[in-house]
Structure 1
Amino acid sequence: MPHKTANHSVHIVLGTAGFGSAKDPQAKFNDATSATPLLDLFRSHGHTELDTARAYPVGAGGTAEELLGRLEVGSWATVNSKVKSWIPHAHRKEGIEKSVADSLEALNVDKVHIMFLHAPDRTTPFEETCRAMDAAHREGKFERFGLSNFTAEEVDEVVAICEKEGFVKPTAYQAKYSIIARGSEEDLFPVLRKHGISFHAYSPSAAGFFSGNVTRESVNSSGSRWDSETLLGKVYQGDYFKDEIFAAATRVKKSAEAVGLTGHGVALRWTLYHSLLRAEHGDAIIVGCSSLAQMEQNLEYIEQGPLPKNLVEEMGQVWESVKATAPSYHK
């Protein structure tokens, strides 16, 4: 019997950065045996949109898409992916063509819903990148063009290029957004709304930072997303390992527990129900996990609805306490 779905219209998207080869210890879903129950659980709650990338998992890029392809998720899911980025000249014409083609082949689909540029390639003229994305769009390889981790000014620049040249314009944008990562509200959100671009929030619970399990001493075990021996762990520690943010996480956890909730649950529910995300703009949150039980818990939190008013007000105070040192929404 299907589970009750959450009382909201902001899209819930399953993040698959933890899918793929066991060569990456941070990839927890390595095959059909581990991944299928997670996908079935997600579907049973009424959600059918998946987020992946050519770079996933970070330590074995491409293998997340390959696993999803073997599982034939394209037969039932709306699949979004991201082109290979993060290296100089990745967004040259040839790089875009190869990355898009490789993603479609790995995913075993003819097209994806949204194809994002995973991060800006500032070594390649944006016009060349946009021209290549437009060509792929005209060939039917994706339905929507997306940006991720670009500055607000760069979003304006990309849209202007696309309008001038008659290219497909971006209609989706992806970045981190949570109680302690709200820098996008001041300069990015107005730009997105001006151009009719939806916002897809990743790390809506700050990668589990409010669970109470993340400390400077506990994070470096092999396989932890926070492990400083990995690229992803270095990124997470750079974003969040600051005294003000640790203090904020403790405050969120204690405030949540005082009313019988969890810090992690409060973080998810704040991003979904009390942030600037709006259903009418097609906005979404991307929810990941490292185990089936964790996803069950995440979906349960999501379905609990809005937070008590006094807790929402306190989360506003938490943001003010970390605003000066908060992680940036762009790269």
Structure 2
Amino acid sequence: MHTPDNRVPVEETLSGIDALYKEGTIKRFGLSNYFPEQVEEVIEVCKKKGFVLPSVFEGSYNAVARLAEDKLLSILRKNNISFWAYSPIAGGFLTKTTQQFRDQSFEGRWRKDKFLGKCYQQMYNKPEALEALDKWHEIAAAEGIAPVEMAYRWVVHNSVLDGDLGDAIIIGASTTEQWKSNLVAIQKGPLSAETAAKIDALWPPLRAGSTYCNWEVVAQMMALLKKQQTGSSKPVKTQ
């Protein structure tokens, strides 16, 4: 269930999922982009109706987007649900420079004339995030590693994720060589305690303006686009 669908009662959706599970079409199911309260609702309905329970949650999580730690993780742990982190390098933000944001010299997903680019800029092109980005590069330089390597190693080895509980990260690459490079970086193990502490210090100033999940911004941007196209729109409920 990639995002909540407020047009359909959650019990109806879960009944369909349960039917697929019991007929053997699926082995397990998970949630993504659900707010903590929505996760609790899904679990409550599943238990009440005897439906198969979700066993994995796919959520946004990286060194500069850590709201999942506040409430979601405790709910998942309590209910034996693994956490799979998407956007471990913040959609590429942690590989960019503040100069690129000043110049807007982006290609691909970060271009402001693209829908996805507008979403990413909304999430990360903020004074406090750009200040953190400068510090991020300073920390990586002091550690003697590339910013992208630091991002992957932190989320795999130094964050709250626990492989023994089934936690994982979702990574992508534009080339085979990039994919191999990412795997090599992860296999280097944890960052130094000093570097991990510096990274942890980046989060408190970012917390208030952080986005819980990418869908939160995507839904807002879709509503804005609809308003521009039609002249009106209904509010989009994201939680």
Q: Equivalent of 1:201, from 85, 88, 109?
A: 85
Percent identity over paired residues = 38
Q: Equivalent of 1:311, from 191, 195, 198?
A: 195
Q: Is the 8 A contact 2:46 2:53 kept in 1?
A: yes
Tell me, what secondary structure is at the counterpart of 1:204?
A: coil
Residue 104 (structure 2) aligns with: 218
Distance 2:141 2:106 in 1: 26
Task: Give the C-alpha shift of residue 220 in structure 1.
Answer: 4.4
Task: Give the C-alpha shift of residue 193 in structure 1.
Answer: 0.6
Extract unaligned runs of 5+ from structure 2: 217-239
Is 2:26 the partner of 1:142?
Answer: yes
Q: Is the 8 A contact 1:269 1:301 kept in 2?
A: yes
Q: 1:149-173 CA deviation, whole Å, 9 max, x = no partner?
A: 0011110100110111111110100
Distance 1:278 1:219 in 2: 37
Tell me the C-alpha RMSD between the 2 structures: 1.5
Q: Greater helix share, 1 or 2?
A: 2
Distance 1:163 1:145 in 2: 15
1:215-294 matches, within 5 Å, as 215-216=100-101, 217-221=103-107, 224-294=108-178
Q: Equivalent of 1:183, from 67, 70, 84?
A: 67
Change (3 A) 1:226 1:219: farther
Extract unaligned runs of 5+ from structure 1: 1-116
Distance 1:131 1:306 in 2: 42
Distance 2:7 2:68 in 1: 24
The runs of at least 4 consecutive aligned structure 1 residues that moved more than 3 Å come to 218-221
Distance 1:303 1:171 in 2: 26
Distance 1:188 1:311 in 2: 26
Residue 15 (structure 1) aligns with: none
Residue 69 (structure 1) aligns with: none
Residue 7 (structure 2) aligns with: 123
Distance 1:309 1:268 in 2: 16
Residue 54 (structure 2) aligns with: 170
Change (3 A) 1:228 1:139: farther
Name the TM-score, length of structure 1 as normaliser: 0.62
What count of residue pairs does the alignment treat as equivalent?
Answer: 213
Tell me, what secondary structure is at the counterpart of 2:57?
A: strand
Q: Is the 8 A contact 1:226 1:234 kept in 2?
A: yes
Q: Greater strand share, 1 or 2?
A: 1
